[in-house]
Amino acid sequence: MSLGSIAVVGASLAGLRAVEMLRSDGFDGRLTLVGAEPHLPYDRPPLSKQVLRGDWQPDRIALRRGDWDDLALDLRLGRRATALDLGARKLELDDGSTLDWDGLLIATGASPRWLPGTRGLAGVHVLRTLDDALALRADLEGTPGRVAVVGAGFIGAEVAATCRERGLEVSLVEPLSRPMERGLDPEIGALMAQVHRDHGVDLRLGTGVESLEGTSRVESLKLSDGTTLAADVVVIGIGVAPETGWLETSGLALGDGVICDQTCATAVPGVVAAGDVARWTHPVFGQSLRVEHWTNAVEQGVAAAKRLLAGASSGEPFASVPLFWSDQYDCRLQYAGIGGFDGERRVVHGSLEERRFVCLYEKDGRLHGALALNQARRMIAYRRMIGERASFTDALAHAESSG
């Protein structure tokens, strides 16, 4: 199939890296980038940190510094995809217009989940977009009272840390027993809980939220333990859902994301997916994954673009090892691999007591994951070894030899 025109849906990190790769690899046909937000693609990690603190203004997080004209794009910002006709190969947008395409790359990302009945109540926020961050920042500047963060996953923990750095009183409410419990092993989760306590966060672990109280503006939270928590600002960080609603009648296979094979291709020729919205079978781990982190978006956007250009050929499996990081206070936490902490764990550099260490995780005799706190440079080698299916014994030997 000849690709005379390609549409990339999602002016995200993955979408931008995809269009850059398409042009650099020689695609000279019509290339359209559709984005639901009115902004040019920007970097999301600073939203919960530098932007929210007020250290950076929006122009600091632009993802592309070069000339946009070099990409020769039909740029459709502030336009949301609403429907997809695979038979006619047409994409419908929310302004009623349609786009014809020969190749389609889906990079629509994910949207934050809200607590039921909380959307629209003044003082209640989620944090996913630049506009979300600016609205929350304005609220924090105008209301120097108590902040309640609901959900102690990575985004919630980062927001709590940033609010404390702004000098605000912060409560962090989490129904699980530890912060970031789904991403960290129990001992590391407990350590990060203590980090937040050391910085003055009021941790409410093992506690859910029954409701938010307030008339024109949020005033308090009713918690599952029967207590009431006063709050002037509430930030909800309870996860995201992939943006696939517009695809439900398309015929594409969906299941907590757009279902892809190992090469980021869907079952429909000429349709691929990348970033937070893509679910693919990882050739190293042998599992179906959907990864919501920065590094994956960069690498998968490039890989999906290459797969689109490969056409009928099989393409290369996307085997990048997931890597994420989180900055909280003076801690940089990194993890390479996927979850699963039921095997052996070994601290190979530093110690938990000094809050500077690397942990290695074993599964079925292989190096399955690596976690570092304030030891960023060491992660490069361990991420590579995970991708190479290195044995746990070899990983320990590398740790010993590298000091």
**Burial label, 1 (beta-carbon count in 10 A; 0-12, 13-18, 19+):** exposed
Q: What is the pLDDT of residues 184-235, one digit of tens each?
A: 889 999 999 999 999 999 999 999 999 999 988 999 999 999 999 999 999 9
Give domain limits for the chain. Answer: 5-111+240-310, 114-236, 330-402
**Matching fold, domains 5-111+240-310 and 114-236:** yes
Dist. CA 148–CA 229, nearest whole Å: 8
| Long-range interactions of 385-389: CB distance < 8 A, separation 24+ | 386/284, 386/321, 386/336, 386/337, 387/284, 387/319, 387/320, 387/321, 389/284
Strand ranges of the sheet holding 30-35, from the earlier edge strand across to the other edge: 73-77, 30-35, 5-9, 103-106, 271-273
What are the start-end ranges of the H helices in 199-343?
294-310
Give the closest residue to 72 by CA, choosing from 127, 114, 29: 29
Chain centroid to CA 281: how far?
A: 18
10-residue mean pLDDT profile of the chain (403 residues): values are: 91 97 96 97 97 96 92 97 97 97 98 94 97 97 88 96 96 94 89 97 97 94 96 96 97 98 96 98 94 96 96 88 95 92 92 96 95 95 97 97 87
Kind of pairing between the strands at 278-282 and 110-112: unpaired
114-236 CATH pick, 3.30.420.40, 3.40.980.10, 3.40.50.300, 3.50.50.60: 3.50.50.60
Name the strand (E) or helix (H) holding 345.
Answer: strand 345-351
5-111+240-310 CATH pick, 3.40.605.10, 3.40.50.1000, 3.50.50.60, 3.90.550.10: 3.50.50.60
Dist. CA 379–CA 377, nearest whole Å: 6
Cβ-contact 41, 11 below 8 angstroms: yes
- The CATH T-level fold of domain 330-402 is Enolase-like; domain 1 (3.30.390)
Dist. CA 225–CA 210, nearest whole Å: 9
67's tokens: 């000339």
Dist. CA 299–CA 14, nearest whole Å: 8
Q: How many CA atoms lie within 13 A of 399 on its CB side?
A: 24
Q: What is the pLDDT of residues 299-346, one digit of tens each?
A: 999 999 999 999 877 789 999 999 999 999 999 999 999 987 788 999
* Residues in a beta bridge with 279: 259
pLDDT of residue 144: 67
Distances (CA, A) of 134 to 137, 141, 226: 5, 10, 33
Cβ-contact 371, 387 below 8 angstroms: no
151's tokens: 């959900």
Cβ-contact 6, 15 below 8 angstroms: no
Other C-beta atoms closer than 10 Å to the C-beta of 396 total: 16
The pTM assigned to this predicted structure is 0.95
Residue 97 has what DSSP assignment? -
Dist. CA 21–CA 292, nearest whole Å: 21
- Phi (first) and psi of residue 191, to 5 degrees: -65, -45
